[in-house]
Amino acid sequence: MENEQLLPLISRVVHVATAIVLVGGSVFMRFALMPAAEELGQAEHDGLRERVLGRWRRFVHGGIALLLLSGLYNYLAVMRPAHQGDGPYHMLVGIKMLLALVLFFLASALVGRSQALKGLRDKARRTLVVMIALAALIVAISGYLKIGSVPRTSGEAETAMVIGFWDRVA
């Protein structure tokens, strides 16, 4: 493996591993912890929720930072040059980023303390289902970007640029 491939590899591993932890944690919370915690008394339930959210909050904030850093690096430094002239690829990455920002907003609201976003916490079960659906869509788009949209070789990219140049001149 070449030296210059090390950073893209680390960034990819960090990106996918962080997504696994955050999405897995959300699924666990919604479909295992919440139903089990319903059997507790109100005081016990509230105490458990505070303790769980106190710990999970750090994962959410750190995870969002890692996903943003690794995702932007992956796109701007690695994938954008490899997909020059591939409009649908960049459109799908744009859609993915917008969906990710909505997901980050909901995840932050759920572990946050802002009174303005209390409604999302009061309906935490529904908020989590929306988050999990968004995450599934984001992972599907990411998989398609990897498999369905083959990067141009540098030769093809150069040809596409030259053709584009002459199209503009003509």
Chain residues that interact with ligand HEM, rule: CB under 6 A: 15-16, 19, 23, 67-68, 71-72, 74-75, 79, 93, 97, 100, 103, 135, 138-139, 142-143, 145-146
Cβ at position 142, least distance to ligand HEM in Å: 4
Measure the CA angle with vertex 43, ends 38 and 45; round to 5°: 30
Cβ at position 31, least distance to ligand HEM in Å: 17
Decide whether 53 or 68 has the Cβ nearer to ligand HEM.
Answer: 68
Cβ at position 25, least distance to ligand HEM in Å: 12
Decide whether 120 or 138 has the Cβ nearer to ligand HEM.
Answer: 138
Decide whether 36 or 72 has the Cβ nearer to ligand HEM.
Answer: 72
Cβ at position 72, least distance to ligand HEM in Å: 5
Please give the Cα distance from 102 to 120 (Å, whole number): 13
